[in-house]
A and B are shown apart, each in its own frame.
Chain A
Amino acid sequence: MNAADLPATNGDNPDWDSGTAELGHILKPGQLDLSHKVILYLEDITVSFDGFRALNKLSLTIDAGELRCIIGPNGAGKTTMMDVITGKTRPDEGTVFFGQTIDLTRLSEPEIAHIGVGRKFQKPTIFENHTVFENLELAMKTDKRVWRSLFATLDSAAGDRIAETLQLIRLATDADRLAGLLSHGQKQWLEIGMLLMQEPKLLLLDEPVAGMTDDETERTAELFVSLAGTHSLVVVEHDMAFVEALGGRVTVLHEGALLAEGDLATVQADPRVIEVYLGR
């Protein structure tokens, strides 16, 4: 099986890639509007920490269904950018829109997660004292309010979804193990699995293959490529071979601003990028 067999997450807005009705469309509060085929707009984002500008008027758009890689030297603002998108950090200036209508700077972290932005951290953050199965169960898209959790039971559809994801991330035989006992690469996969259980529309992946073996890295690349199209992915990565394997457009950040954008070969040939990477 591959990721395309997972329930498509654009089901509630089936015509995002076929253009919208000529006479406009109805806006529903909280629903993702992809009528311009763009899922994420960052505009003039500035974030300062004690005078240091981690992001400096950064503007960036991600298309629906796109697989975008973000590269840049240390301190370029990659992680801060993800913090801004997921609501962990509020920008001093600028706007962040999810689709046409949802202003992410007004929402809290759980709300942003709930409307369909999933994030994988640089360091695998899974629940080490829970089993692999429970990790996926907790991440699963469902009503996550207290009252529901008090009386929640797993129905068979949910059980099937967890089983499918376990297959996909190759942890089916480890379902009842404590997640803390997994290898580093397996933890990365589990976190990716948790991300998929959330059924996000936009996946933010911060160095997803760090610490993985070559084989695992290759499988991860295949998985991400298969997810693109039905999901939008933003991957921050240092591993150029992995970026090449993903094959999407590449954005280079430097000192909190956009330096270059294009396919990997173009970007790598750009003299400014070479200067930033090789030093002055």
Chain B
Amino acid sequence: MHAANGCVTILNQMVQYYAARFDASFAALSDATRRGVLEQLGRADASITDLADKFHMTLTGMKKHVGVLEQAGLVTTEKVGRVRTCRLGRRRLEEEAAWIESYRQLWDARFDELDKVVEELKRKEKVDGRHKKK
């Protein structure tokens, strides 16, 4: 009984956690400037000042956008001295790792089939070899 309830609780927490993450991500991505900022950070890290200049915005306006992206886990920031540097968050890296894993699985399935084709070729050659010897 306890175990069953425990499972549901964990599952619920997971669902709530992911739902919140998805909501935050969608909200973050619903804005063209914020999508532009992500694209920009995909090329290189940048300070908030750099980003404000690039997107012709005030520092305060850019800080707000970066804040939303940070909340969604899409961007992380680090303050060194007077400069706050922004870079792509871990979420982006996790997505990349997930993509590479699915790419690996695709090739794994393909190569399993290739193994079969080569096995068949080997078998045929053995048979042909035997015929030729006769």
A binds B: no
Question: Which residues of B are interface residues toward A (Cβ below 8 A)?
Answer: none
Question: Which residues of A are interface residues toward B (Cβ below 8 A)?
Answer: none
